[in-house]
């Protein structure tokens, strides 16, 4: 045993004896490599890995850094050094990035904790876990002769478990997303149908589309989801299957959301004008691909704002727009909600809630998390209603989970993006909506508009929608009110919506 612990033997069994003899040089090389990898990651993906390829690249590079540290320094404390250097470099380089998942760490509310888990937590999982494994393997491979057989075997068991965890994580990340095919009576993909996930490059960034239809020769309906920042690709697939017999239904993950989260590029300023321009570019892509002069827009919540602005700017591109959960003025809605929550606090005798709201003051709020706090009281402010049984049953059968995150349309990383996209994109874009008021800005539309109205909707939204609709001048304007519905009548009453599209909207607006 004595000869194995001698200094000469230690140098002989290490893979890099010269470096092992110069501890300072080993530390310098290890530190430099960790810093370089952190620099590259921060420059290319300042919000952390946003795609499966990026996540696998981070895992691979982090594993290499860990292996080098373990073999050069041959001490497990080297893990502390490389992780500290890696994280510090990333935080310093990406200081210009904005959004809750990359801003200063806060743990004073549920959403800020969620932002930490989805941002730094997810990056830590794919970036630091491989470093742990790499250091462990490097130390064991470079210094195994100094350990007793029992201890060495024990450490390799730990290494085997870490390896299994890492391989399992890599497999989950690598599994591709998909959307189920449209099947014919024989259970096989229906000839002439389309069911695909694809992407279109807009302003240099890839943005994801889900396209589904029983017949590629049918007219196009582009669905604009809510938010800003929300992704809901699986919902149209689940609820609009019958409608996709008469229309090609296109779901779009807008810039910075879900499958398009990576398009939230720090070099491209995300503005309201940019999102409208994106909508028009996606429209033109669909028109060209399917040889259609015009398409339909279906907006949900924030998507209704986007639909109205796009149709106002380019009415020549749209047969009609359909609004579900129609928004009119975000700042006025927020102001009304502020007083509605105060009134609720008074009715409930909740002095703490009243004090918190008074501390926030009348919106626009300085703290973005104030908007999230108010959202938590929407359910208390809705008028009582019971959604249709068909809607509830479809939701249970689909088993899509919170925010549809379990849908097959998202891979592992994109499931994380569904949540962090909402946080980051909303924090960037929502403050820019403070000047919007369709009652003044959009007195006329040159395209037909159909509004689906939920009678149980928040009065802070619905009252403005009814007022604007009365004022609006349009070639065709129709409103459909649903008693058992609130903010999402197109989904909650998907069967009635399908009927409206087939029996009214298409006959009135689509040239036969």
For the chain, give the number of residues.
512
**pTM for this prediction:** 0.92
Q: How much is the pLDDT for 266?
A: 57
User: Where would I find the beta strands (DSSP E) of 288-375?
Assistant: 295-300, 318-324
Q: How much is the pLDDT for 268?
A: 57
For the chain, the structural domain boundaries read 3-174, 194-327+382-509
pLDDT at 183 over 50: yes
Give the chain's mean pLDDT. 92
pLDDT at 361 over 90: yes
Q: How much is the pLDDT for 174?
A: 97
Averaged over 8-30, what is the pLDDT?
62
Confidence of residue 423 (pLDDT cuts 50, 70, 90): very high
Q: Kindly report the number of other CB atoms within 10 A of residue 150's CB atom.
A: 8
Q: How much is the pLDDT for 2?
A: 38
Tens digit of each residue's pLDDT (9 = 90 or more) over 243-255: 999 999 999 999 9
- Write out 406-449 in H/E/C secondary structure: CCCCCCHHHHHHHHHHHHHHHHHHHHHHCCCCHHHHCCECCCCE
Q: If DSSP codes are grouped into helix, strand and coil, which group holds residue 271?
A: coil
Q: How large is the C-alpha radius of gyration of the chain?
A: 27
Distance CA 342, CA 24 (A): 63
- Write out 226-257 in H/E/C secondary structure: CCCCCCCCHHHHHHCCCHHHCCEEEEECCCCC
Q: How much is the pLDDT for 22?
A: 78
Confidence of residue 155 (pLDDT cuts 50, 70, 90): confident
Averaged over 151-176, what is the pLDDT?
86
pLDDT at 139 over 90: no
Instruction: Average the pLDDT over each of 82-86, 261-265, 302-306, 338-342 and give the range with the smallest value.
Output: 261-265
Averaged over 147-162, what is the pLDDT?
69
Distance CA 180, CA 363 (A): 43
Q: Confirm if 93 and 46 have CB atoms less than 8 A apart.
A: yes
pLDDT at 36 over 50: yes
Tens digit of each residue's pLDDT (9 = 90 or more) over 222-241: 999 999 999 999 999 999 99
Confidence of residue 502 (pLDDT cuts 50, 70, 90): very high
pLDDT at 398 over 80: yes
Q: How much is the pLDDT for 96?
A: 87
Q: How much is the pLDDT for 337?
A: 98
Confidence of residue 157 (pLDDT cuts 50, 70, 90): confident
Distance CA 2, CA 95 (A): 52
Residue 356 corresponds to which tokens in the numbers above? 């918190």
Confidence of residue 11 (pLDDT cuts 50, 70, 90): very low
Residue 508 corresponds to which tokens in the numbers above? 């009135």
Instruction: Average the pLDDT over each of 25-29, 113-117, 252-256, 503-507 and give the range with the smallest value.
Output: 25-29
| DSSP tag of 356 | H
What percent of the chain lies above the pLDDT cut of 90? 84
Confidence of residue 267 (pLDDT cuts 50, 70, 90): low
Q: How much is the pLDDT for 332?
A: 97
User: Does the CA dihedral 471-477-483-488 come out positive or negative?
Assistant: negative
Which residue has tokens 């939204």? 461
Which residue has tokens 């890995």? 49
Rounded to the nearest angstrom, the gap between the alpha carbon of residue 376 and the centroid of all alpha carbons in its chain is: 20
Q: Confirm if 190 and 184 have CB atoms less than 8 A apart.
A: yes
Q: How much is the pLDDT for 17?
A: 52
pLDDT at 145 over 70: no
Q: How much is the pLDDT for 7?
A: 42
Confidence of residue 23 (pLDDT cuts 50, 70, 90): confident
Long-range contacts of residues 483-486, Cβ cutoff 8 Å, at least 24 apart:
483/385, 483/455, 483/456, 484/385, 484/386, 484/387, 484/388, 484/455, 484/456, 485/385, 485/387, 485/452, 485/454, 485/455, 485/456, 485/457, 486/382, 486/383, 486/385, 486/454, 486/456, 486/457, 486/458
Angle at 134 between CA 132 and CA 135, to 5 degrees: 70
pLDDT at 3 over 50: no
Q: How much is the pLDDT for 487?
A: 95
| CATH, range 194-327+382-509 | 3.40.50.1820
> Bridge partners of 477?
449
Which residue has tokens 């904790």? 113
Confidence of residue 188 (pLDDT cuts 50, 70, 90): very high
pLDDT at 151 over 80: no
Averaged over 401-416, what is the pLDDT?
95
What percent of the chain lies above the pLDDT cut of 70? 93
Backbone φ, ψ for residue 222 (5° rounding): -95, 120
pLDDT at 31 over 70: yes
**What residues have CB less than 8 Å from 70, skipping those under 6 apart?**
76, 78, 134, 135, 136, 137, 138, 139, 140, 141, 142
Confidence of residue 141 (pLDDT cuts 50, 70, 90): confident
Residue 11 corresponds to which tokens in the numbers above? 């140098």
Q: Kindly report the number of other CB atoms within 10 A of residue 88's CB atom.
A: 13
């Amino acid at each position: 045993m004595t000869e194995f612990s001698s200094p000469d033997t230690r140098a002989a069994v290490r893979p890099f004896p010269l470096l092992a003899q110069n501890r300072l040089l080993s530390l310098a090389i290890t530190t430099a490599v960790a810093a370089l990898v952190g620099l590259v990651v921060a420059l290319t993906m300042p919000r952390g890995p946003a795609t499966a390829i990026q996540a696998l690249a981070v895992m691979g590079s982090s594993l290499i850094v860990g292996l080098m540290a373990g073999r050069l320094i041959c001490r497990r404390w080297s893990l502390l050094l490389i992780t500290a250097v890696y994280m510090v470099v990333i935080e310093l380089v990406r200081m210009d990035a904005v959004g809750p998942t990359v801003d200063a760490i806060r743990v004073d509310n549920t959403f800020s904790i969620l932002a930490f888990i989805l941002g730094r937590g997810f990056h830590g999982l794919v970036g630091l876990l491989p470093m742990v494994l790499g250091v462990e393997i490097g130390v064991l491979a470079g210094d195994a002769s100094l350990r007793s057989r029992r201890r060495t075997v024990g450490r390799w068991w730990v290494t085997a478990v870490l390896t299994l965890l890492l391989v399992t994580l890599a497999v989950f990340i690598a599994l591709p997303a998909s959307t189920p095919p449209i099947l014919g009576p024989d259970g096989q993909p229906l000839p002439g149908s389309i069911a695909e996930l694809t992407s279109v490059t807009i302003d240099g960034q890839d943005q994801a589309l889900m396209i589904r239809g029983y017949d590629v020769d049918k007219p196009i309906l582009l669905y604009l989801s809510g938010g800003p920042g929300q992704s809901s690709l699986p919902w149209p697939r689940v609820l609009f299957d019958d409608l996709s017999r008469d229309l090609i239904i296109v779901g779009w993950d807008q810039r910075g959301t879900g499958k398009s989260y990576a398009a939230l590029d720090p070099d491209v300023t995300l503005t309201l004008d940019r999102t409208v321009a994106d909508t028009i570019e996606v429209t033109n892509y669909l028109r060209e691909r399917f040889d259609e002069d015009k398409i339909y827009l279906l907006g949900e919540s924030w998507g209704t704002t986007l639909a109205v602005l796009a149709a106002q700017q380019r009415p020549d591109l749209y047969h009609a727009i359909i609004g579900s959960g129609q928004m009119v003025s975000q700042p006025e809605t927020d102001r009304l909600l502020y007083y509605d929550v105060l009134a609720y606090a008074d009715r409930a005798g909740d002095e703490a809630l009243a004090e918190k709201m008074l501390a926030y003051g009348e919106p626009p709020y300085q703290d973005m998390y104030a908007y999230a706090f108010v959202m938590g009281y929407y359910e208390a402010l809705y008028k009582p209603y019971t959604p249709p049984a068909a809607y509830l049953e479809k939701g249970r059968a689909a088993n899509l989970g919170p925010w549809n995150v379990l849908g097959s349309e998202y891979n592992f990383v994109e499931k994380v993006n569904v949540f962090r996209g909402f946080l980051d994109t909303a924090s960037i874009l929502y403050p820019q909506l403070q000047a919007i008021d369709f009652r003044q800005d959009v007195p006329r539309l040159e395209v037909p508009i159909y509004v689906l109205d939920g009678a149980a909707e928040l009065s802070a939204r619905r009252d403005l929608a009814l007022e604007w609709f009365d004022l609006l001048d349009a070639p065709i304007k129709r409103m459909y009110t649903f008693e058992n519905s609130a903010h999402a009548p197109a989904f909650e009453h998907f069967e009635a919506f399908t009927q409206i599209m087939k029996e009214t909207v298409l006959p009135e607006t689509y040239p036969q």
